[in-house]
């Protein structure tokens, strides 16, 4: 019987670089999810990690074209994104997912898929208050909702169920993008993923 060989430091570092994970950033529109995801992606890539950002707007345009914003369509969208993220993560990629995913049951379903497959999954709540998001209004959604041009804006006239036990809560309105990304990077390091 052969004894298991212990990995040296270089081998451990290489192993971290090929260990995939899904990092789901949930929060209101204009909370800062995508900005933080891209900042973290740059940092991870600079450290040699294979990283992809699954931007919610791009997914809606290509993978979920034709879906609306009903509860059922939002659930379908989240499940599609969760499937792709798990597929990437199970193949050694850090999948950063800045997607609202307003319903707890949808997010939990994605988490369970990852658990079943043995793939690392972290839920990050970018907990920016709606008052701050409406001032940022990156896409002009809050202004359109206030003018009556759109209905069903998450966190305003459509529900957003805040995560009760996220792996990390980021209050992006109290820190810089770099500080938010650094906090998330520290969590990945603590979990042996960065």
Task: Convert the pLDDT of each residue in 22-79 to its tens digit.
Answer: 999 999 999 999 999 999 999 999 999 999 999 998 998 998 999 999 999 999 999 9
The single residue listed with the structure tokens 């998330």 is 184
Report strand pairing: 168-170 vs 120-126. Answer: parallel
Report strand pairing: 21-26 vs 51-53. Answer: unpaired
pLDDT of residue 9: 58
- Close Cβ partners of 108 (under 8 Å, ≥ 6 residues apart): none
In terms of Cβ atoms closer than 10 Å to its own Cβ (0-12, 13-18, 19+), residue 174 is: exposed
Tokens of 80: 């599609």
The residue-averaged pLDDT of 164-174 equals 96
């Amino acid at each position: 019987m052969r004894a298991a060989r212990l990995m040296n430091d270089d081998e451990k570092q290489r192993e971290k670089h090929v260990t995939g994970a899904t990092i789901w950033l949930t929060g209101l529109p204009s909370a800062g999810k995508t900005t933080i995801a891209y900042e973290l992606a740059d940092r991870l890539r600079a450290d040699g990690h294979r990283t992809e950002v699954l931007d919610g707007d791009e997914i809606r345009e290509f993978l979920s074209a034709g879906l609306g914003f009903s509860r059922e369509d939002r659930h379908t969208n989240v499940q599609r994104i969760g499937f792709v993220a798990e597929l990437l993560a199970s193949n050694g990629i850090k999948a950063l997912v800045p997607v609202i995913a307003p319903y707890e049951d949808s997010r939990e379903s994605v988490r369970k898929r990852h658990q079943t497959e043995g793939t690392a999954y972290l839920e990050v709540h970018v907990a920016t208050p709606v008052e701050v998001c409406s001032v940022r209004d990156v896409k002009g959604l809050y202004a359109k909702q206030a003018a009556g041009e759109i209905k069903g804006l998450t966190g305003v006239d459509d529900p957003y169920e805040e995560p009760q036990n996220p792996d990390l809560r980021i209050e992006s309105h109290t820190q810089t993008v770099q500080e938010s990304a650094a906090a998330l990077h520290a969590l990945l390091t603590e979990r042996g993923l960065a």
